[in-house]
Structure 1
Amino acid sequence: MARAKVQRQEGRDMSGDAGTAGTLGFGHQRTAEADGAHLSMAGEMSYGDYLALDQVLSAQHPLSDHHDEPLFIIQHQTSELWMKLILHELRGARAAIARDELGRAEKMMARVARIFVQLIQAWDVLATLTPAEYMEFRDVLGKSSGFQSHQYRAVEFILGNKNAAMLRPHEHRPAIHADLQTLLKEPSLYDAALELLKRRGLAPDEAHLTRDLTQPYRQHASVEEAWLAVYRDVGTYWDLYQLAEKLVDFEDAFRKWRFAHVTTVARIIGYRRGTGGTSGVSYLEAMLKVRLFPELWDIRTRI
């Protein structure tokens, strides 16, 4: 009797959702058809149609016969899909800040921080690739390298880490090059936050706000003082304080992702030069020193 009771309980626990076809659970013969599922999809938009899975799942083209190359390809393709969503959210957050819709902006930034947690965990999967396995197909990569990712470059630009030289790898792709040029010239997410401080009467230096936006962001004493005023009077500036903390949450997640990237690359290729010609791990380690919102970190010693 006890065994039968367990089996009945397992049948309930494993019943799944209505989209699961076939026999559901252990010893439980309820089918998707009996549950009202649409099994005939002729002339209808199916799950695969909506997600364009034929195109997505046929986009992996290994250039070697090595078993582990698909892992390498899929790791990077899924990262690019997440980067696409990150860009969508960051653009939305920047626009929301400009409209004073801080709650909406904070939701978007919180989502991006969660995406980076997902991307950090993805490095654990790639770390199952050993140096010996990677070297079996490394040569087929040619000069291709992750630093050539136009979406990653767009993320860097919208976060204020701008470098016009990084447009060059995309000169052969006019549409992509034009999009990056636009982002290079536009205010960053942080610039939108600084303009918000100005609208609230916590004006950073005007010369800093009107600086050349194509250059990497450099911290400024007037910005630090503005944020310090927010943190010293949280009751008055609660919404600005919340926004600042969401920016810090995001940068914290972004830094952890960078560190996981460095660690994984060091584990797989050591300190040899990267396929794209960079110094590899040394180049990535230098990127760890970049701070996106420096004043928000420095004020913590003054509060």
Structure 2
Amino acid sequence: MINEQMVHGPRAYQSLTEQERRERAARTSGEPVLDFSSGAVCATSTPYVDYHNVDTLLSLQHPRTQEPAELSFYVMGQVQELLFKLLFTEINRVRDLLFAGQVDEALWYLRRVERSQRVLLATWEPLSTITASEFVGFRDQLGTASGIQSYMYRQLEFSLGNKSEEMARAHQGIPRFQEQVDMALRAPSVYDAALALLHSRGSAIPEECVRRDFSLTYVPNSAIERAWADIYREPHRSRDLYLLAEALTDVGHQYSQWRSAHLLTVERVLGNKPGTGGTMGVAWLRRIAEHRFFPELLSARSLL
């Protein structure tokens, strides 16, 4: 049987069916395969390294000083970027499922979103061990580099509903970034999809709240607050909407924790120094940490 080839750049490895995996395990008596030269077009790598592009991934860390703590800062920043990409992709999947009315499927993916957020939150743990004196050892090399300039982070915020045309300007003049950020700015968020779902189910959501310019900053609405409160008053009447409300609340809660951990880590490492991106540092982060996604989901609790 001729297998389909998986090709990554100059390397190619055979894919395996379940039956072929069983047969191979039988031939090796369950021991791992350690010789890849016979099945590979190029024997300079292994299937694992090739699939994950591990050699490329591990070549992307370039600290600029001899300060040992800089590697932790560098690697955790890259891990965060990868998680931003994962979360952005999953949130958009949830949004599309909600627009299609597939609530159960959306809830399934929201489980993974929330678990991935926990990993994102944990990335602040290694960073919080960097002392102020260690950070001084490499901070100057950051120049004007700042997380504010992360186009992946900005897309994630937009996908969750925190739209800001002003923040999107950071990527103007850089076509490969600007196009992606602008698309995320103008696309409906996952919260827009949730409100459209409530509207389609008969909740008293004003028409202007579901047919609007999605690039504009979201403004909370008392009618939406009442609609969520109605769902909470009778959770068994629309069980899937009730579970969706709690799942989105979990996502917003995890994100708020991430922002708070960011604030506390910067405060511990930097004190009250200005940020590299032009802000006043901790003071700016403290203000940003006050923002809440899906605001009516929280304020609706006051009506119960």
- Compute the TM-score of the two structures, normalised by the length of structure 2: 0.86
Distance (Å, rounded) in 2 between the aligned partners of 1:120 and 1:191:
25
Match of 1:69 in 2: 70
Do residues 52 (structure 1) and 48 (structure 2) align? no
Deviation larger for 218-227 or 189-198: 218-227
Match of 2:12 in 1: none
Match of 1:181 in 2: 182
Check conservation: 1:162, 1:216, Cα contact below 8 A: yes
Check conservation: 1:68, 1:133, Cα contact below 8 A: yes
Do residues 108 (structure 1) and 109 (structure 2) align? yes
Match of 1:243 in 2: 244
Distance (Å, rounded) in 1 between the aligned partners of 2:138 and 2:171:
25
Distance (Å, rounded) in 2 between the aligned partners of 1:34 and 1:68:
45
Distance (Å, rounded) in 2 between the aligned partners of 1:210 and 1:41:
56
Distance (Å, rounded) in 2 between the aligned partners of 1:72 and 1:102:
39
Q: Indicate the SS of the match to 2:214.
A: coil
**Structure 1 residue 41: Cα displacement:** 1.2
Q: Indicate the SS of the match to 1:94.
A: helix
Check conservation: 1:68, 1:129, Cα contact below 8 A: yes
**Structure 1 residue 113: Cα displacement:** 1.5
Match of 1:281 in 2: 282
Deviation larger for 35-44 or 243-252: 35-44
Q: Indicate the SS of the match to 2:129.
A: coil
**Structure 1 residue 190: Cα displacement:** 0.3
Distance (Å, rounded) in 2 between the aligned partners of 1:109 and 1:89:
8
Deviation larger for 64-73 or 139-148: 64-73
Check conservation: 1:113, 1:254, Cα contact below 8 A: no
**Structure 1 residue 71: Cα displacement:** 1.0
Distance (Å, rounded) in 1 between the aligned partners of 2:296 and 2:126:
35
Match of 2:235 in 1: 234
Distance (Å, rounded) in 2 between the aligned partners of 1:173 and 1:91:
23
Which runs of structure 2 are paired with 1:18-167 in the superposition (5 Å)?
35-42=30-37, 43-44=39-40, 46-167=47-168
Deviations, residues 148-187 of structure 1 (Å, cap 9, x unaligned): 1111100111111111111222124312211111111111
Unmatched runs of 5 consecutive residues or more in structure 2:
1-27, 41-45
Unmatched runs of 5 consecutive residues or more in structure 1:
1-32
Q: Indicate the SS of the match to 1:137.
A: helix
**Structure 1 residue 124: Cα displacement:** 1.3
Distance (Å, rounded) in 1 between the aligned partners of 2:175 and 2:216:
22
Deviation larger for 55-64 or 100-109: 100-109
**Structure 1 residue 216: Cα displacement:** 1.5
Check conservation: 1:157, 1:184, Cα contact below 8 A: yes
Distance (Å, rounded) in 1 between the aligned partners of 2:170 and 2:68:
30
Deviation larger for 115-124 or 68-77: 115-124
**Structure 1 residue 34: Cα displacement:** 6.0
Count of aligned positions:
271
Check conservation: 1:161, 1:292, Cα contact below 8 A: yes
Check conservation: 1:217, 1:292, Cα contact below 8 A: no
**Structure 1 residue 140: Cα displacement:** 0.7
Q: Which amino acid aligns with 2:297?
A: L
Between the aligned residues of both structures, percent identity stands at: 38
Distance (Å, rounded) in 2 between the aligned partners of 1:86 and 1:121:
15
Distance (Å, rounded) in 2 between the aligned partners of 1:106 and 1:216:
26
Q: Indicate the SS of the match to 1:217.
A: coil
State the Cα RMSD in Å: 1.4
Q: Which amino acid aligns with 2:151?
A: H
Distance (Å, rounded) in 2 between the aligned partners of 1:216 and 1:171:
19
**Structure 1 residue 248: Cα displacement:** 0.5
- Compute the TM-score of the two structures, normalised by the length of structure 1: 0.86
**Structure 1 residue 66: Cα displacement:** 1.8
Match of 2:254 in 1: 253
